[in-house]
Structure 1
């Protein structure tokens, strides 16, 4: 077994808690939903009790598979990413301690997943794929720039070369990244048109920012007068804990092969910041269609920033919406905008993924805007298909379990133009994958393979490799 060790730095937890999965065939590709070649295998990461296993399946459309007595036990993972059909990366977040992880391949000799590389890292934010590299980015206090008392925050990067196992690191100052005095985090990476796109999330002004860019404080009442908040939302007096610009979206476009370059920043005030959110986690909501057009979705979370007696915040007003950056362009398409809350069942979105062509799978707030405002108690069991060029939103109205019985929806695996989404229910049945064909008029779901396990963490495909 080859072993490689590398370090990832943290900041605010960004991206998915279960699976990074672009539903394009580029990184989650397969031969067909119903069958694979004699050597390729569908691979499912499933958790039973405290253990996580990698199990293989010949079909995602029918039957049942189990981890009991047949799976490859793993270290578990908070985050999973398939690098094409070559590797499956598992990254385990250890509650603030140093993280652990491993990559897995499908053994050519046994036809089963086996550990290939192992590694350690600090804490994870957002991650994706850029050329030959699995990339990570995180925002943290640095040790370079200082205002005399506080260090500036930096975005820290890791590049894990998937072909030779080498890793390199880099940093860029996160303060005033957008020219508005705020520090930022990234949420999601999309490689398209020989460029890399990432959503830039303004996070407010740190102590360093308040002291260094006082002219960029829009209202001094926004500066916290006392300590407050809990967990990742905690703050101390003297900083601005949330963004002053909830009704703006920013996309950074990189043209080269590393974050050392200065990106092109594209912004709009037609939608709010572009990421899904659950507690301290931020989910990718920017995806490229097959023709390279980038679709930028905003849930409209600026509305959830409400002032209290001891802290004033800027509250957004914009609804859940979507805009577009056409392939090769470096501005938002001014002719393209849809208010998602005026379409379908008229609810805001929570997360989204690209399936095929210009079809996207959207996970919606079941109880609408009122449900979104409840934060961690929100119900997000409704699915919809968005046909981007037509601006048509179709609720997945049949074939799924009763919404009241769904306890969680996983990130989908997409192949041959359809999406397979893991569904866990409380009705006593095993978790199962549900297949959704976005091109059908009613967006009907069909139950596929059942997985004898407690949870399904990841689904994808691996081709056999020797090592």
Structure 2
């Protein structure tokens, strides 16, 4: 299965930096140096209404108004996840439960126009988690029965350096952590050393134990990390599972564990960059500072700041909503609820948050207003209303896309 870049955008996504000589005459022996590339950027908005999804671009998310009426690229599908690896492209995926997942990828051409990269694609085994790893976007799902009758995890590696070619790798997960039980892997986080990390959900296993598996680009298990200070590092809503692992700017990985019906408090552990074990001296009790609430998703914002999405009830069930948000500083081990967001009883929908420019953008739709992007300052844990999207019922996802503008001689 291949996804091919359109010829018109091939140079934008695959070209390296230009090299040029720095001399004033032809006899210079100085080494060529890398020429600075002048990149410009626009913001991507995936707005939804009854007709499907509208892919829009705007100069800023901090203020203003836009609309889906006569604007953007219309797609009849409604995508459930948006993923990216850097600022060159954004990928929309449609979960479709047990059916094959479908996806699209967009970037900006040299004129700054939003352009689809290749044609839409399909992943037969579907996905439940997506994340960036090296030059890939990795989509993975567990509980897949393979041709030999074994059950395990399927990985789709979407190679952004090779015309977005997609390769499939498989991992048998029975007895993965040595207890004879089936496992699912949740989340994809780049470890920065040619490997990536994923949290382990042990089916019918001890929820008062956290397992993290480290894998290479062939989906081969390199290490298994375990700790009993937090529970499983995943959030859930019905059949969906959400990653609770994320890196800071230095490449340290923070693992956030929920009670998930167990006895442990919701908290965080640290895997130092390059380490194959948890930092035994680091433990962050978040739940006590968060008034007893458990969390469902995590996003790195900037520096040591992370955004946490919390369930709205103290004892969340299978379908409990999660529209409360807080900021944690993992260095000072402090927590603050975000102020300035709509009240939870007025929120109809929340899209995927997106962190950029040292803030985090949260798209929220309320009962009495058009979908609005809220801009959250992590230092003050305060939100202000940003761009409003009219003629839409929700905002599914956001991204920042960069491009190298055309030059004229």
Q: Give the TM-score taking structure 1 as reference length.
A: 0.74
Greater strand percent: which structure? 2
**Structure 1 Cα separation of the partners of residues 48 and 208 of structure 2:** 39
Unaligned runs of 5+ in 2: 5-37
Alpha-carbon deviations, 1:211-239, whole Å to 9, x = none? xxxxxxxxxxxxxxxxxxxxxxxxxxxxx
Q: Partner of 2:370: helix, strand, or coil? A: coil
Deviation at 1:39, TM superposition (A): 4.2
Q: Partner of 1:297: helix, strand, or coil? A: strand
Q: Which residue of structure 1 lines up, in the alignment, with residue 128 of structure 2?
A: 125
Over 3 Å counting, the alpha-carbon distance change for 1:282 and 1:112 in structure 2 is same
Q: Which residue of structure 2 lines up, in the alignment, with residue 237 of structure 1?
A: none
Tell me if 1:423 matches 2:382. no
Deviation at 1:117, TM superposition (A): 3.3
Matched ranges for 1:289-438 at <5 A: 289-301=248-260, 303=261, 316-368=262-314, 370=315, 372=316, 374-376=317-319, 378-396=320-338, 398-427=339-368, 429-438=369-378
Q: Give the TM-score taking structure 2 as reference length.
A: 0.84
**Structure 2 Cα separation of the partners of residues 265 and 342 of structure 1:** 29
Deviation at 1:180, TM superposition (A): 1.1
Tell me if 1:258 matches 2:204. no
**Structure 2 Cα separation of the partners of residues 414 and 163 of structure 1:** 24
Over 3 Å counting, the alpha-carbon distance change for 1:326 and 1:421 in structure 2 is same
Please say if residues 39 and 402 of structure 2, whose CA atoms lie closer than 8 Å, have aligned partners that are also in contact. Answer: no
Q: Which residue, out of 271, 288, 309, partners 2:247?
A: 288
Matched ranges for 1:56-455 at <5 A: 56-74=57-75, 75-109=77-111, 111-122=113-124, 123-139=126-142, 140-144=144-148, 151-165=149-163, 166-204=165-203, 243-254=204-215, 256-259=216-219, 261-301=220-260, 303=261, 316-368=262-314, 370=315, 372=316, 374-376=317-319, 378-396=320-338, 398-427=339-368, 429-440=369-380, 443-452=381-390, 453-455=392-394
Please say if residues 199 and 274 of structure 1, whose CA atoms lie closer than 8 Å, have aligned partners that are also in contact. Answer: no
Deviation at 1:361, TM superposition (A): 0.7
Deviation at 1:97, TM superposition (A): 3.0
Please say if residues 84 and 131 of structure 2, whose CA atoms lie closer than 8 Å, have aligned partners that are also in contact. Answer: no
Please say if residues 39 and 403 of structure 2, whose CA atoms lie closer than 8 Å, have aligned partners that are also in contact. Answer: no
Q: Which residue of structure 1 lines up, in the alignment, with residue 398 of structure 2?
A: 459
**Structure 1 Cα separation of the partners of residues 302 and 82 of structure 2:** 21
RMSD: 2.1
Please say if residues 347 and 364 of structure 2, whose CA atoms lie closer than 8 Å, have aligned partners that are also in contact. Answer: yes
Compare relative contact order (CA 8 Å, sep 6+) and give the higher one, 1 or 2.
1
**Structure 2 Cα separation of the partners of residues 283 and 196 of structure 1:** 20
**Structure 2 Cα separation of the partners of residues 171 and 84 of structure 1:** 26
Over 3 Å counting, the alpha-carbon distance change for 1:364 and 1:95 in structure 2 is closer
Q: Which deviates more, 120-129 or 452-461?
A: 120-129
Q: Partner of 2:345: helix, strand, or coil? A: helix
Please say if residues 213 and 221 of structure 2, whose CA atoms lie closer than 8 Å, have aligned partners that are also in contact. Answer: no
**Structure 1 Cα separation of the partners of residues 221 and 97 of structure 2:** 33
Matched ranges for 1:24-43 at <5 A: 39-43=40-44
**Structure 2 Cα separation of the partners of residues 326 and 110 of structure 1:** 39
How many residues matched?
366
Please say if residues 105 and 465 of structure 1, whose CA atoms lie closer than 8 Å, have aligned partners that are also in contact. Answer: no
**Structure 2 Cα separation of the partners of residues 365 and 98 of structure 1:** 29
